[in-house]
Structure 1
Amino acid sequence: MDITSQFFSFCSYPQITLIFISSFITDHLFLFFKLFQSIIELHLLKRMRTEFCCINIMKYLEYTPFDRINAFLDHLNFGEHTIKGSIEAYSCKHTVSDKRLSLSLENEILNYLGNSPDVESVDSSSPVNYLSSRSSRKTLIYLILTLYHMYPDYDFSAVKAHQFFTVETWHGFKQIFDSYMSDASKEWKETDEDTSLLETLHKALDEVINLAECEIYSYDPNSDADPFIEKGALWSYNFFFYNRKLKRVVSFRFSCLSNLLSDGFHMGGIYYDEDGEIFDDMDM
């Protein structure tokens, strides 16, 4: 019996034929939808990668308004402590030199999102919800690229870094500045009676990055993930001013170092050296 005869013989059993056809259609529909899903996922991934590859790469910029501030905050010695500060501007340059880094950060975020619950089921303040926004991801990539430019030998995690960034306001920044930079402001006042240090900083920032259109972020990682911390640091603050329209980021960091802790210090007749060894206060 040939194949055709076998088929018609098989079709003489309606119930079996119906089951066969139904199974055939179900299996092929399943394969079709799986293929369609794979095509959609590949399309979305390609689109997201294209978006991230188009992120401009950070480039250091020199601005005269910052020169005087940087020179003043380079090393303010107040006896027992020293205040240091630095303000830097970064712009975005169309280049592919950091393409590998951008893709690496992007893949880290995508993997994190892929292993996380659905966005609808998580809290609005969670990293998943934040990173699900294309605009938020691009902002995070900009900020991390700035960190990499400042500290090229340090390994920053995109997901972990997000947890250390906090949205700030100028008022919040001003409160921190006034509280912790009072000694520096008094020192500045002695050399410039017309404009305060904060006013000079505000004017310089506005000229370079247009504060009215800026997003302000503070960066406060734990000690293990903080490249800003120096030996003997009593406190340290790091702020980023980001202008989407200008595609420009300004970094401003300032810290206070103990002159006693940085080189070793005396406490109750005991001397602690740089390596942490303890010696009695006696002739060496």
Structure 2
Amino acid sequence: MKLLDNAKFEAVTSALSVVNGDCKIDGRIESYSCKMAGNDKRLFKTLSTEPGMAPNDLQALSPPQSVLSHSPSRHYSRSQSDEGEGHLCDTISTKTLFHLISTLNASFNPDYDFSNAKSGEFSKEPSLTWVANAVDSQLFAAAGESFSTLKQQLWSTLDEEISLTDCDIYSYNPDLNSDPYGEEGSIWSFNYFFYNKKLKRIVFFTCKATRWVTSIN
């Protein structure tokens, strides 16, 4: 994955660094080309040689957190591992899963390595509207009016770069052992991927809120 320069994203990222009372917000938005670099090619070759992981094979995703019961119009297919029983789930191709993993590796390099992440740590989100509402609600609750002034710039800049209505939206929801934001004091975090297959591009929007303690001497 190649990080693409975007001055408007850099401005939004800077504005997403906010302290509001006892809450500190850190977020960033990055745009990546899905063109494979050297490390990507090696990871893709390794991933594709595993059983059931050919590029076009389908991998089962986890249901989106907190929205499964509120999305009756969604279409699900059974995971092969369900053996006719269990929950219904979305699926993606091994190649798309690889793009998501490679984006995480590029964004959090060199502190974290997500090469062993599994499809069950990812979800496909039900709609742009749901994601936008979830992001806006979390950021407004944590940042207050400082986010109100940023909201329009945030979504218009995203749309300009990736054409939001043409995107599939995925999220990364790891367990505590794999979570790069699992440190003490963490309040919430999110990791969204806006994948425009036609543009062969992913915009990654990641954000966390932590408790902010001011030292008093």
Judge same fold: TM > 0.5, yes or no: yes
List per-residue Cα deviations over 1:245-270 (Å, max 9, x = no partner): 1110111111111024x98xxxxxxx
State the shift of 1:78 in Å: 1.6
State the shift of 1:157 in Å: 5.0
Identity of aligned residues (%): 36
Larger Rg over CA atoms: 1
List per-residue Cα deviations over 1:76-133 (Å, max 9, x = no partner): 11231111111111113354443211112223353798xxx96895468468xx36xx
What residue in structure 1 maps to residue 62 of structure 2?
Answer: none
Given the superposition, is the C-alpha separation of residues 81 and 121 from structure 1 closer, same or farther in structure 2, using an over 3 Å criterion? Answer: closer
Gaps of 5+ in 2: 58-78
List per-residue Cα deviations over 1:23-67 (Å, max 9, x = no partner): xxxxxxxxxxxxxxxxxxxxxxxxxxxxxxxxxxx0011112212
Gaps of 5+ in 1: 1-57, 190-195, 264-284
Asked whether the equivalents of residues 172 and 192 of structure 2 are also in contact (C-alpha less than 8 Å), the reply is: yes
Asked whether the equivalents of residues 128 and 165 of structure 2 are also in contact (C-alpha less than 8 Å), the reply is: no
List per-residue Cα deviations over 1:140-177 (Å, max 9, x = no partner): 1110111111233433255x531121111211112212
Larger fraction in helix: 1
1:114-193 correspondence runs (5 A): 121-122=83-84, 125=88, 130=91, 136-153=93-110, 154-156=112-114, 160-168=117-125, 169-182=127-140, 183-184=142-143, 186-189=145-148
Given the superposition, is the C-alpha separation of residues 96 and 178 from structure 1 closer, same or farther in structure 2, using an over 3 Å criterion? Answer: closer
Larger fraction in strand: 2
1:68-147 correspondence runs (5 A): 68-74=11-17, 76-93=18-35, 95-108=37-50, 110=52, 121-122=83-84, 125=88, 130=91, 136-147=93-104
Q: TM-score by structure 2 length?
A: 0.74
User: Separation in 1 of the partners of 2:114 and 2:51?
Assistant: 13
Equivalent position amino acid for 1:101 in 2 = L
Matched residue count: 188
Q: Which has the higher contact order (CA 8 A, sep 6+)?
A: 2
What residue in structure 2 maps to residue 27 of structure 1?
Answer: none
Q: TM-score by structure 1 length?
A: 0.58
1:264-275 correspondence runs (5 A): none
What residue in structure 2 maps to residue 280 of structure 1?
Answer: none
Counterpart of 2:195 (choices 242, 247, 269) is 242
Given the superposition, is the C-alpha separation of residues 95 and 147 from structure 1 closer, same or farther in structure 2, using an over 3 Å criterion? Answer: closer
What residue in structure 2 maps to residue 211 of structure 1?
Answer: 164
Asked whether the equivalents of residues 84 and 256 of structure 1 are also in contact (C-alpha less than 8 Å), the reply is: yes
SS of the residue aligned with 1:180?
A: helix
Given the superposition, is the C-alpha separation of residues 224 and 207 from structure 1 closer, same or farther in structure 2, using an over 3 Å criterion? Answer: same
User: Separation in 1 of the partners of 2:53 and 2:198?
Assistant: 29
Counterpart of 2:2 (choices 53, 59, 64) is 59
Asked whether the equivalents of residues 70 and 85 of structure 1 are also in contact (C-alpha less than 8 Å), the reply is: yes
